[in-house]
Amino acid sequence: MRMSSLFLRTLRENPADAEVPSHQLLVRAGYIRRVSPGIYTWLPLGLKVLKRVEQIVREEMDAIGSQELLFPALLPREPYEASGRWTEYGPNVFRLKDRKENDYLLGPTHEEMFTLAVKDMYSSYKDLPVSLYQIQIKYRDEARPRAGILRGREFVMKDSYSFDLDEAGLDKSYQQHRDAYIKIFDRLGFHYVIVQAMAGAMGGSKSEEFLATAENGEDTYVRCANCGYAANVEAVQVAAPDPIPYADLPASHVEDTPDTPTIETLVTHLNSAFPREDRAWAAGDTLKNVVVMLVHPDGSRAPLVIGIPGDRDVDEKRLGAQVEPAVVAAFEEADFAAYPSLKKGYIGPEVLGEASESGIRYLVDPRVVDGTAWVTGANRPGHHVLDLVAGRDFTADGTIEAADVRPGDACPSCGHALESARGIEMGHIFQLGRKYAEALDLKVLDEHGKQRTVVMGSYGVGVSRAVACIAEGNHDDLGLVWPRDISPADVHIVATGKDRVRDPEVFETAERLTRGLEAAGLTVLYDDREKVSPGVKFKDSELIGVPTIVVVGKSLENGVIEIKDRRSGDRREVPVADAVTEILAEVN
């Protein structure tokens, strides 16, 4: 690549709409350009980087025997109608119509297409297992795209799917992908963690995420320094205590608690009106019953009450993950009017439960085990019930993981204190099970001639996101600093001469060097621009971020060129005659 003709324009100033370093630098260094919110053009340098990331992913997928294919991005409605996702996916899908008013969508993910492709071509257990993948442009109409290509509405994703006859096969396919992902993310040079995750909108069971660790990441996860447990907050399982015998506990009793609609006012009142002998009342002694409205994909609405210890709040992300595909809406004043048994601020278990008169579903935090005693609402304004014992005085319809998770909470695996950190989701693997195979009727004949529903796994890597994420983790004040395996070029040669007439030796040496390195198989970005001052060329080379910069200029008088390491800033001089050899040694 010759800079004199490369389609490139570097910017001295940051674009006004870029906040995060990766976005600022990728635009300034001429890798990408914004076209529309969350939609970017890959310019020549950026495309080189994207292709290199793709290639690493491709090699590792091929290595586990997965086969690449390519589906259209433009898809008909019917398969998504059949799987239920035409509605479940909601407003995040880009939808469009053709001239005959038929519905289409731009694929947000391709489970249906893979499932149908296998159904179309395979019908025997002998055909399984099979693993297929594509590297595709995906579309999601994000409510708020942000951070450049880190979270776009159009993005490149590798998605693959495994098809097995049974769960044992799925476990094996899952493990293969897991191993491949470790290789991919190692090669991409990420600092990452593998965390337990929710299967999310795709449905399914076992699931793990690969998160690039980043302080400004969008995903929060917890980890245990003691046993290595790590999980996305959405997927954290609360360490539930053992049930407590409650034969000797005092009976429950309703008390006057005027003007105590909040946990804070209630605790203050308890401590003045009903002081405990052993210690003061605390928020954690109360059972907070939070009511929300669930909106199901078919549009139906139903209230849900969640009982959690009063010192905690409902974490909306965790709750949302639990109730998916339903979405959580606020419980409005009008809803209270429609459900008169719910007294705002004084809701108690007595009127709750699917078996109760109200029929309102009631789920409690896993900490609310049998034998625990609580202060909670008595379903009358200004009244609470004390010593209400779970298992004796009330029984919920089940438990729900909706309370917030905090640093210091017990690790569900070993009991040690959990710590919290943030990351960016780069990969997600999960066991889909039979959801799509059933919805789309993907079956094969087994060895006994019986129809068996195929078991699927689904695995994704955010390819374009990886480019942003690598940039995010590899830059300094001057610009980008690409890892060698990702860089758009192996070497950036800077010729600092005035022009070919006045400094023929500089340009001739640089060109000879370029040809020599290219002949040796390297890709070279050669700054052959004439009448451009050295300062500009140095700044551009630092901004662009090729890991090895070779300067051909002034020092030629002494018969040497300079080799500069972009990351460390170290530079050394080598004789022109040894230059190709020395640079090859540097790069390998």
Partner RNA sequence: CGGGGUGUAGCGCAGUUUGGUAGCGCAUUGCGUUUGGGACGCAAGGGCCGCAGGUUCAAAUCCUGUCACCCCGACCA
Binding site for RNA (CB under 7 A): 9-17, 19, 36-38, 92, 138, 140, 142-147, 151, 155, 157, 200-201, 218, 316-317, 320, 324, 327-328, 425-428, 460-462, 464-465, 478, 496-499, 531-536, 538-540, 542-543, 551-556, 562, 564
| Closer residue to RNA, CB minimum distance, 129 or 462 | 462
| Closer residue to RNA, CB minimum distance, 134 or 464 | 464
The single-letter code of the amino acid at 299 is G
Q: What angle do CA 446, 447, 448 make, to 5 degrees?
A: 90
Distance CA 163, CA 126 (A): 12
| Closer residue to RNA, CB minimum distance, 303 or 462 | 462
Residue by residue, DSSP assigns 479-491 as: EE---TTT-S-SE
| Closer residue to RNA, CB minimum distance, 302 or 414 | 302
Rounded to the nearest 10 degrees, the angle between the axes of helix 504-519 and helix 579-587 is 50
Give the torsion sign (CA, 479, 484, 486, 489).
positive
Furthest C-alpha separation in the chain:
101
Distance CA 288, CA 375 (A): 9
**Torsional class of 465: left (φ above 0), alpha (ψ -120 to 50), beta (otherwise):** alpha
| Closer residue to RNA, CB minimum distance, 309 or 545 | 545
* Cβ at position 4, least distance to RNA in Å: 11
CB 212 within 8 A of CB 190: yes
CB 106 within 8 A of CB 93: yes
* Cβ at position 228, least distance to RNA in Å: 23
| Closer residue to RNA, CB minimum distance, 102 or 558 | 558
| Closer residue to RNA, CB minimum distance, 98 or 499 | 499
* Cβ at position 513, least distance to RNA in Å: 13
Distance CA 443, CA 456 (A): 11
* Cβ at position 212, least distance to RNA in Å: 11
In the numeric block, which tokens belong to residue 239? 């360490």
* Cβ at position 280, least distance to RNA in Å: 31
CB 108 within 8 A of CB 77: no
Distance CA 423, CA 436 (A): 30
End-to-end CA distance of the chain, in Å?
20
Beta bridge partners of 476: 479
The single-letter code of the amino acid at 267 is V
| Closer residue to RNA, CB minimum distance, 266 or 328 | 328
Number of Cβ atoms within 10 Å of the Cβ of 42:
19
Q: For residue 314, which phi and psi values (nearest 5 degrees)?
A: -75, 130
| Closer residue to RNA, CB minimum distance, 12 or 448 | 12
* Cβ at position 316, least distance to RNA in Å: 3
* List of residues 6+ apart from 113 with CB closer than 8 A: 71, 75, 79, 107
* Cβ at position 328, least distance to RNA in Å: 7
* Cβ at position 557, least distance to RNA in Å: 9
| Closer residue to RNA, CB minimum distance, 373 or 551 | 551
Cα dihedral: 402, 407, 409, 413 (round 10): 90
* Cβ at position 83, least distance to RNA in Å: 15
CB 298 within 8 A of CB 87: yes
| Closer residue to RNA, CB minimum distance, 206 or 383 | 206
Residue by residue, DSSP assigns 309-325 as: ETT--B-HHHHHHHHTT
Residue by residue, DSSP assigns 76-108 as: ESHHHHHHTHHHHTGGGSEEEE-TT--EEEE-S
Q: Which residue has the tokens 């609470």?
A: 384
Distance CA 333, CA 471 (A): 48
Residue by residue, DSSP assigns 344-401 as: TT---GGG-STTSSS--EEEE-TT--TT-EEEEE-SSTTEEEEEEEBTTTB--SEE--
* Cβ at position 365, least distance to RNA in Å: 18
* Cβ at position 461, least distance to RNA in Å: 6
| Closer residue to RNA, CB minimum distance, 176 or 496 | 496
CA 404 to chain centre: 19
> Peptide bond before 72: cis, by omega within 30 degrees of 0?
no
* Cβ at position 14, least distance to RNA in Å: 7
| Closer residue to RNA, CB minimum distance, 190 or 346 | 190
| Closer residue to RNA, CB minimum distance, 142 or 582 | 142
Give the torsion sign (CA, 105, 108, 112, 116).
positive
* Cβ at position 154, least distance to RNA in Å: 10
* Cβ at position 184, least distance to RNA in Å: 13
